[in-house]
A and B are shown apart, each in its own frame.
Chain A
């Protein structure tokens, strides 16, 4: 069984439309995020989040009234499966380091006082002081950038040319931006798990690009005289089936995560699902066209990558 028999698609010729599409998506994403639409989880913003499991079906309005008495502006919503009787309370007050769980205690007391007939059986809570939140935000950005940089260096070293590393890295960075845009469009919170997904995505996207670069490297061995553009396009076509199958199966795996992983992994799963699709797309329409663009302008002339 084969998906496409001997594909001959002109990827490079159509690249400009896709670059425009990407620019549009990222631009819209940046605009949307800059206008304050990216939500941060408690790990990053600091604050208190309680997930409480009630004895009977909780009445969200009554809970909202009770919580509003001590902490107006808090967000209350049902959490996960409706039958699980779980409610998420995101407390609006800042958690101060002098008495970290004061807001949580106040809310619990308020619930016990005004909604006592449906007691909380069990709960999980996450309280993050402002110091940790700020440290974590910095660390997330720093690690993503450093991760990309080191991959760039590795690829540049392996392929004996900065453009290969740059192409793969820009494609991965593009993926992170598009993914963030989608997370913002679909109102997902940026949690630690989502950051983990984004960092994994960086690895996965570069991984995908390398497979194709590697093919180019191999083709260069016995087709030195042909123009780079043709080599690149042929390599894309030769690896197309693999690209589709591999990413298709990984897509199915993360789709399983997104659909069945429960509330905790929902954001992670979403970021991965989007990421796998975008990662494949960026390899075809961002990374390889960048290399083509570089060589067509005379960059790297005389230098040809050799197989390691």
Chain B
């Protein structure tokens, strides 16, 4: 095709111009405008849909659903409580630090629930100072309540909770998008869904390695670098020094030790020096012993902080924590800079995946799988074959019947049906809707409804003819009388289809989409185009009989 014709708009204009010429030559004046408008709509549809399926390396305009081309469909739930916990934990740290900075003596500060914490034992002389401090720092999104002598409860407002929830889901979606890019999937779908909006739908067409895809999606990849207080082989020895209790600002983590099967436990500071958000890049490298390791670089602000803190803590251990596991805990030998590494017992593939995931960013909360659907590619091809076969059978039945029963008028109905199908396909291509196997069924049903419109009109015309009307008057009356019926039947069918559309995503949505488009297209094709064809063929001449 010459380059100028590859632009769909030029192609459409050219073809419409040609059509206008033909209409001028063969269509009488009072029908000419309709011929051009209807024709150009159908030409636009043809241009929009070409080529419908992949050919000569050019991608097809009709997107096939997962059930037809194979792939993975996952529904995940974002554990939003994780993010709420994290935010409240941060607030606890802020409250404690600020009180310390102001020199206010306070008792324990503790998280009460995912959305609230308490400050207890404020020295009586400074209750007012503490109240002002809390009100100042937790002005937005929190509510400070005094719940007794020197005791405060700080709780997230409903609004802030909602904001955090939707933020968390949005952030998770963005992270998943970056990760899915790593997998190199064409046309992935990643979208929020579910009544509470905390579910994420992930569709990866064409992906066959389910395990790899799931690993890449689900790893939280929460990286943090934390200062180690002590380490020991068992939790009891670890906590011996602190009287068996974990101090408020510390936590116990564990990770694999030098001998397999004997984990090491660490008592670390809760507050992380560095988190995944401070990363500038991450990639795979090898260590001195040629084992895979992950090299990562920090951004400028984080590098400053990291250098300062490591300089102050030389000879202490620094735990490198990934998703709650201590991968290694090297001793800080000197001030550290931007470039660092994570060593551990990775396989090359693990290191590769991890570095990609780290680069894509951490998930703000952990994920749970609610639903998983995988379709093998050849099974999808079987479905296409079945769908095509069923459609062909249905079309053949209808075509033969209409021609036998309505003779030449049946031909008119078949032209209208073809136009209807063309519009449905074009609308799907234009809106990027996916064609699923139930979608094919939807198209077949559309054909059924299309036939109904034609039958309504034709039966009405026959009735008018029986009452002794002339051919032209019968056709005119037939179409006029049936209009209201068509309006009402299509409106109710649209109501049903609209509710189907609400039925989540996936194949059923594909079905509803074809049904809705089909109903609208049908009014155009089986009513307006069909009426035009009658008027055009009957022309201005007088007919004694109509082939109907």
Contacts and interface: CB of A to CB of B under 8 A. Distances in A.
Interface of A: 1-2, 51, 53, 80, 84, 86, 97-98, 100-101, 121-129, 131-132, 135-136, 139-140, 143-144, 146-147, 150-151, 154-155, 158, 192-193, 195-196, 199-200, 202-204, 206-207, 210-211, 214-215, 218, 238-239, 241-242, 245-246, 248-250, 252-257, 259-265, 268-269, 272, 307-308
Contact of B500 (A100, A143, A214): A143
A249 B496 contact: no
Interface string B376-400: 1111001101110111111011100
Given A147-B495, A192-B507, A260-B393, A308 B373 contact: no
Nearest to A261: B390
Interface string B519-541: 00000000000000000000000
Contacts of A307: 484
11 contacts: A51-B379, A53-B379, A122-B376, A123-B376, A193-B438, A193-B508, A199-B496, A200-B497, A210-B485, A249-B397, A250-B448
A139 B504 contact: yes
Contact of A261 (B378, B386, B515): B386
Q: Which 8 A-B pairs have the closest CB atoms?
A: A262-B386, A203-B496, A250-B448, A256-B393, A256-B394, A122-B376, A147-B499, A252-B397
Main secondary structure of the interface of B (DSSP, over half): helix
A242 B459 contact: yes
A146 B455 CA distance: 30
A136 B493 CA distance: 23
A265 B383 CA distance: 9
Contacts of A262: 382-383, 385-387, 389-390
Contacts of A143: 499-500, 502-503
Contacts of B392: 256, 260
Contact of B368 (A98, A122, A158): A98
B376 A253 contact: no
B451 interface: yes
B448 A249 contact: yes
B369 interface: yes
B365 to A, nearest CB: 15
Interface stretch (B105-113, B261-269, B328-336, B401-409): B401-409
B422 to A, nearest CB: 18
Contact of B404 (A1, A128, A268): A1
A204 B195 CA distance: 28
B447 interface: yes
A227 B531 CA distance: 36
Contacts of B194: 135
Nearest to B502: A143
Nearest to A259: B393
Contacts of A147: 495-496, 499-500
A269 B386 CA distance: 12
A196 B438 contact: yes
Nearest to A101: B372
B349 interface: no
Residue in B386, B484, B512 whose Cβ sees the most chain A Cβ within 10 Å: B386
A196 B445 CA distance: 12
A215 B371 CA distance: 48
Contacts of B371: 100, 127-129, 132
Contacts of B393: 256, 259-260
B163 to A, nearest CB: 24
Contacts of A264: 67, 383, 386, 437
Contacts of A269: 390, 441
Contacts, number: 234
A135 B75 CA distance: 13
B491 to A, nearest CB: 6
B503 A124 contact: no
A114 to B, nearest CB: 22
B146 interface: no
Contact count band on B: 35 or more
A122 B376 CA distance: 6
B368 A200 contact: no
A249 B407 CA distance: 15
Given A250-B451, A256-B390, A154 B398 contact: no
A272 B515 CA distance: 14
B386 A260 contact: yes
A144 B503 CA distance: 10
B489 interface: yes
B373 A214 contact: no
B387 A261 contact: yes
Given A193-B438, A211-B456, A249-B401, A122 B372 contact: no
Given A214-B488, A265-B390, A146 B499 contact: yes
Contact of A254 (B385, B401, B444, B495): B444
B493 A253 contact: no
B75 A256 contact: no
Given A1-B404, A150-B499, A257 B504 contact: no
A261 B441 contact: yes
B484 A132 contact: no
Contacts of B368: 97-98
Given A151-B492, A196-B438, A214 B394 contact: no
A176 B488 CA distance: 21
B291 interface: no
A199 B500 contact: yes
Contacts of B385: 262
A203 B492 contact: yes
Given A158-B491, A207-B449, 19 more contacts: A2-B462, A97-B370, A127-B373, A195-B508, A196-B438, A210-B489, A249-B401, A250-B452, A252-B401, A253-B398, A254-B444, A254-B445, A256-B390, A260-B389, A260-B392, A261-B386, A261-B389, A262-B389, A307-B484
Contacts of B369: 97, 100-101, 127, 129
Q: Which among B374, B378, B405 has the highest number of chain A CB atoms within 10 Å? A: B374
A30 B265 CA distance: 61
A135 B195 contact: yes
A129 B77 CA distance: 11
B372 A100 contact: yes
A127 B394 contact: no
Most buried by B among A203, A241, A269: A203
Contact of A214 (B374, B375, B455, B484): B484
Contact of A206 (B394, B448, B496): B496
B145 interface: no
B345 interface: no
A249 B492 contact: no
Contacts of A127: 369, 371-373
Contacts of A155: 488, 492
B481 interface: yes
B454 to A, nearest CB: 9
A80 B451 CA distance: 31
A148 B279 CA distance: 55
A260 B503 contact: no
Interface string B48-82: 00000000000000000001000000010100000
A52 to B, nearest CB: 9
B545 to A, nearest CB: 14
B375 A257 contact: no
Given A143-B500, A246-B451, A252-B401, A122 B378 contact: yes
Contacts of A98: 368
B441 A257 contact: yes
A261 B389 CA distance: 7
Contact of A151 (B372, B391, B496, B515): B496
